[in-house]
């Protein structure tokens, strides 16, 4: 029996979103948990690289969990960027309102 890890996400603007590792292939080398591309491109070696998974239920679960971790990390990083963007838009709007109020006072 395959052991498949899943996740659900919920936020004020997203009532329900599901994550499923999919058909694969799955490995233990996560794209979001390895050393940075910059270091790899400079010839660096990831000394903490995880061992490859065995073809056992626990081994395959570990590989699938790595895929799920990548999916969650990518999604949440994107959401963090949007949060940051939203905050800076709010600040920009606040600055505009304050500037306009000052201009009106000067008039």
Partner 1 sequence: MTDKLPYKVTLSIPFETHEQATIAKNTLSPDPIVKSVDEFNIEYEINDNILQILFSGASNRIIRVTISNTIDNLKTILECIDEFEGKQDHLFEIDGEKFTG
**Nearest approach, Cβ of residue 99 and partner 1 (Å):** 29
The nearer residue to partner 1, 77 or 98, going by C-beta atoms, is 77
Q: Label residue 13 exposed, middle or buried (CB < 10 Å: 0-12, 13-18, 19+).
A: exposed
Name the residues that contact partner 1, by CB under 8 A: 3-12, 28, 32-33, 50-51, 54, 56-59, 61-62, 65-66, 68-69, 72-73, 76-77, 79-80, 83
- What is the smallest separation between the CB atom of 97 and partner 1, expressed in angstroms? 25
The pair phi, psi for residue 103, each rounded to 5°, is -60, -45
The set of residues, in sequence order, having a beta carbon less than 8 Å from that of 14 and lying 6+ positions away, is: none
Of the pair 18, 94, the CB lying nearest partner 1 is at 18
The distance of closest approach from Cβ of residue 68 to partner 1 in the complex, given in angstroms and rounded to an integer, is 7
Q: Which is nearer to partner 1, 41 or 56 (CB)?
A: 56
Burial 87-102 (b: 16+ CB within 10 A, else e): eeeeeeeeeeeeeeee
φ/ψ bin of 43: left (φ > 0), alpha (ψ from -120 to 50), beta (otherwise): left
**Residue nearer to partner 1 on the CB measure, 83 or 90:** 83
């Amino acid at each position: 029996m395959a052991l498949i890890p899943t996740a659900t996400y919920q936020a004020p603007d997203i009532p329900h979103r599901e994550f499923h590792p999919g058909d694969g292939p799955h490995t233990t080398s996560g794209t979001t948990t390895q050393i940075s591309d910059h270091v790899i491109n400079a010839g660096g070696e990831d000394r903490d690289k995880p061992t490859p998974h065995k073809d056992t239920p626990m081994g395959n679960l570990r590989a699938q969990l790595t895929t799920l971790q990548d999916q969650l990390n990518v999604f949440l990083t994107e959401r963090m960027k949007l949060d940051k963007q939203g905050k800076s838009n709010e600040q920009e709007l606040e600055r505009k309102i304050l500037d306009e109020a000052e201009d009106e006072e000067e008039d």
